[in-house]
A and B are shown apart, each in its own frame.
Chain A
Amino acid sequence: MAMGIGTDQLAQRALRLPRSPKILTGLGILLFFILWAIIGPFVRPYSPDATFANAPVPLPPSGAHWLGTTQVQQDVFSQLLVGGGRMIGVALIGGIIATVASVAIGVTAGYLGGLADDLLSMLANIFLVMPALPLLIIMVGFLGQSASSNLFVIALVIAVTGWAWGARVLRAQTLSLRNRDYVDSARIIGERRWRIIATEILPNLTPIVATSFLFTVLYAVGTYAALAFLGLVNPNWSWGGMLFYAQLSNAELTGYWWWFIPPGLAIALLGTSLVLLNFGIDEFINPRLRTAGLTSKGRRGRRGRRRPEFALTPVIRTVTGTGISTGISTAASTATSAGTGPAAEGGLA
């Protein structure tokens, strides 16, 4: 219900945001990984390429190698530490590029309407429906190993396949904002188009831009892992690349768990933190989604006892300039939640 309210109120709400346990947990894990990415390369005990003892099989965790060694006797722990930087880097750059593209395309389509909207929406829908992984594979495949070792190129290619969902959600929301009274009045005053978009529309899109950014970062995490796992992009040394080598040596068939569990778990946890943050923002947009621990406390305060039998939450109608906004905001938040549902499956992985 964030769209009916002004920027001031939004800021007030934003201050309340970090109280949600989902946001706190998600933020905590994410900060941990960002720290990991920054200091990992400096605290690694060995070079990730260095080979050690002349053993024919991977060695289990020991004092010298905390997470054991790989088939060719490289230190798993060092590879894990170094891999964080590439992962976070690609995910953030990819997320930023894709989000800028989806804001530009989505808001333009929603605000302009008409033929421009039809064409841009069609473009977004085409990219949504087309399966991303095979498209990525032919793009990266034809680029060849040298070009696809460049992290920026990988992030760009991932962004090409990842902007459409955000554009679609942002378009829908812009569409519902553009005929609000305050936008109309700005238009009547004679404000320029870009100024209306920048000062009247964009601030009210903030939560949705945030979810779509988190979603694309999550998508980039999964996709980068998948591309490295396929051996399409240089696997030395990223978490997906570690799994690529583990799979080549059949680590899962021979029980070398210390080789494939740490990188896989790292990807999964990083993804989990992003999903949690996304849920937190979703619940902020649509309070009905909150799990009971959070709502029942507040509700008991406000409305006394709630019906124990059937969890019916009150329909809150906020009256805005255009009238009752429940219909619109419900539709919008449904779009977000349905979108984050099946779509946010950790990208392609």
Chain B
Amino acid sequence: MRAIARRLGFYLVTAIVAVSLDFLIPRLIPGNPVDAILAKAQGQQFSTATIAAMDEQFGVNTKASLWAQYTHFWSDVLHFNFGVSVSNGFEPVSSVINAAAPWTLGLVGLATLISFALGTLIGAIVAWRRGSWLDNLLPVVTFFQAAPYFFLAFLAVDLFAIKLGWFPAEGAHQNMDFPAFNWTYISDVLDHAVLPALTIVVASAAGWIVGMRNVMLTTMDEDYVLIAAAKGLPRHRVIWYAARNAILPSVSSFALAIGFIVSGALLTEIVFSYPGLGLLLVNAVADNDYALLQGIFLLITFAVLLANLIADFVYVFLDPRIRQEA
């Protein structure tokens, strides 16, 4: 449990750094963000109160000390008050994010789990069968590892949605209004999720395959695997012994991977016009909607930290050595 406590402390520090960066970046970088917002949003009527609120949020034309601004920023963050989104009719940022976040969480969460399970399994098989035709899989995997997610998304739309017409090309469901929560709706949502999820799985599984294969090759050299094989245990038991140990670095490198996958998934959403945070992000970029950008950055960082914490718990569960320490 000490290990978990230490990780928890680390995530807390990371969260504090993230909030501080969110606060500092608009203040450190030259230029006036409020002017930029006003310049971009021609034709929209800004009330003086809105402009004053934005001045305060980004630290321009203010007489308050940096520390006072910082503490005020913290109290805003803790109250989920991230200002208003100029690209969404001055709606509060928190409610704009609330509407989009479930789509991203569902899509990315599910796709990540599938990709981890599938990639680890394939990686173990490729390592175990080293020297067979399966090795030829590696160059293909390499290509998918290097290809941008959004390019794979382009190909998926062009091939499976337009040319073959198997899946819808855009959106998350048929009608923009929310119908009854019945099977028609659910199957429609799933139908729309298949292609984006497939893109994320194909693009991200490559990393798990290579990672698992490389560690598995090292693990297979361990004495306990040799003994298991020498005892004449069935082959699947031997592989299980090796794989159980080889999976540990994959779980611990989850921390690195999840950030990449989330970033790639956001870009995938844009190609599929999936109404999640990625689409929100690109619109916010186009409209200089800085408040929304700040809010999304914090939300994604916190989500990634939470995913890491879960991975840590799984690690403790998998590795008895860590439990022994406590």
Interface size class of B (residues with CB under 8 A): 35 or more
Q: Is A203 close to B, CB under 8 A?
A: no
Task: Tell whether B33 is near chain A: CB-to-CB under 8 Å.
Answer: yes
The docked-state distance in angstroms from the alpha carbon of A29 to that of B274 is 35
Give CA–CA (A142, B22) in the complex, Å. Answer: 11
Which of A32-40, A89-97, A281-289 makes up part of the contact surface?
Answer: A281-289
Q: Which residues of B contact A (CB under 8 A)?
A: 10-11, 13-14, 17-18, 21-22, 25-26, 29-31, 33, 36, 128-132, 135, 138, 142-143, 145-151, 153-155, 157-158, 161-163, 169-170, 203-204, 206-208, 210-212, 214-215, 217-218, 220-221, 225-226, 229, 235, 238, 249-250, 252-264, 266-267, 270-271, 281-282, 284-286, 288, 290, 293-294, 296-297, 300-301, 304-305, 308
Is A222 an interface residue, CB under 8 A from the partner? yes
Contact of A345 among B158, B264, B267, B296 (CB under 8 A): B264
Which residues of A (113-150) have their CB < 8 Å from a CB of B?
A: 122, 125-126, 128-135, 137-139, 141-144, 147
CB neighbours (8 Å) of B294 from chain A are 138
List chain B residues, Cβ under 8 A from A271: 145-148
Contact: A122 with B10, CB < 8 Å? Answer: yes
Residues from 221 to 270 in A contacting B, C-beta threshold 8 Å: 222, 225-226, 229-232, 240, 243, 246-247, 251-255, 257, 260-261, 264-265, 267-270
> Once the chains bind, are A342 and B208 in contact (CB under 8 Å)?
yes
- Complex CA gap A115/B218 in Å reads 33
Instruction: Verify B135–A293 contact, CB threshold 8 A.
Output: yes
Is A55's beta carbon under 8 Å from chain B?
Answer: no
In the complex, what distance in Å separates the CA atom of A253 from the CA atom of B170?
A: 9
- Decide if A11 is an interface residue (CB 8 Å cutoff): no
Q: Which residues from chain B contact A288 at a C-beta distance below 8 Å?
A: 217-218, 221
Interface Cβ pair total, 8 Å cutoff = 275
* Chain A positions within 8 Å of B146 at CB level: 218, 268-272, 274-275, 346
Is A47 an interface position by the 8 A CB rule?
no
Q: How large is the interface on A (under 10, 10 to 19, 20 to 34, 35 or more residues)?
A: 35 or more
A interface residue numbers (CB < 8 A to B): 122, 125-126, 128-135, 137-139, 141-144, 147, 165, 218, 222, 225-226, 229-232, 240, 243, 246-247, 251-255, 257, 260-261, 264-265, 267-272, 274-276, 279, 282, 286, 288-289, 291-293, 296, 310-315, 330, 333-334, 337-349
Q: Give every chain A residue within 8 A of B163 (Cβ-Cβ).
A: 255
Residue among B13, B169, B225, B281 with the highest chain A CB neighbour number at 10 A: B281
Whether A296 and B285, one on each chain, are in contact in the complex, defined by CB atoms closer than 8 angstroms, is no
Given A339-B256, A346-B146, A126 and B211 touching (CB < 8 A)?
Answer: no
Contacts of B290 in A (CB 8 A): 138, 141-142
A230 to B293, CA, bound (A): 13
- Cβ-defined contact, B207 with A129, below 8 A: no
What would 29 A/B residue contacts be, using CB atoms closer than 8 Å?
Answer: A129-B255, A130-B304, A133-B266, A134-B300, A137-B281, A137-B285, A137-B297, A138-B22, A142-B26, A143-B31, A229-B150, A231-B282, A252-B154, A252-B157, A252-B158, A261-B155, A264-B148, A268-B147, A275-B146, A291-B131, A312-B220, A314-B221, A334-B214, A334-B215, A337-B214, A343-B253, A344-B145, A346-B148, A347-B260
Contacts A132-B259, A134-B301, A260-B151 aside, 6 further interface pairs with beta carbons under 8 A come to A134-B293, A134-B297, A293-B131, A340-B210, A341-B208, A345-B203
> Beyond A252-B158, A252-B271, A289-B214, is A141–B285 a contact (Cβ under 8 Å)?
yes
A275 touching B158 in the complex, CB below 8 Å, given contacts A247-B270, A253-B170 = no
Do the beta carbons of A291 and B250 come within 8 Å of each other?
no
Task: With both chains docked as a complex, state the minimum distance between the C-beta of B212 and any C-beta of chain A, in angstroms.
Answer: 7
> How close is B49's CB to chain A, nearest CB, in angstroms?
23
Bound: A232/B22 CA distance, A: 18
Chain A neighbourhood of B221, CB < 8 A: 288, 312-315
CB–CB A129/B267 < 8 A? no
Q: Say which residue of B254, B270, B300 sits within 8 Å of A131 (CB atoms).
A: B300
How many Å from the CB of A261 to the closest CB on chain B?
8
User: Are B31 and A142 touching (Cβ within 8 A)?
Assistant: yes
Is B267 within 8 A of A343, CB to CB? Answer: no
Nearest 9 Cβ contacts at the A-B interface: A341-B211, A271-B146, A349-B148, A292-B131, A264-B151, A342-B257, A133-B263, A342-B207, A337-B214
Q: Give chain B nearest CB distance to A323 CB in angstroms.
A: 18
User: Bound complex: CA of A339 vs CA of B214, how far in Å?
Assistant: 10
For A219, the closest partner residue in chain B by CB is: B260
| A310–B222 alpha-carbon span in the complex (Å) | 13
Q: Binding site of A, secondary structure by majority: helix, strand, loop or mixed?
A: helix
Distance (whole angstroms) from the CB of A256 to the closest CB of chain B: 9
Known: A292-B135, A334-B215, A343-B256. A264 touches B154 (CB 8 A): yes
B259→A337 contact, CB < 8 A: no
A27 to chain B, nearest CB (A): 15
From A122, A134, A257, A292, B130 is in contact (CB under 8 Å) with: A292
* Whole-angstrom CA separation of A261 from B132 in the bound complex: 32
| Interfacial chain A residues near B300, Cβ < 8 Å | 131, 134
**Given A143-B31, A253-B162, A334-B249, A126-B259 contact (CB < 8 Å):** no
A310 to B: closest C-beta gap in Å: 5
A131, A230, A349: the one contacting B301 at CB < 8 Å is: A131
Residues of B within 8 A of A131 (CB): 258-259, 262-263, 300-301, 304
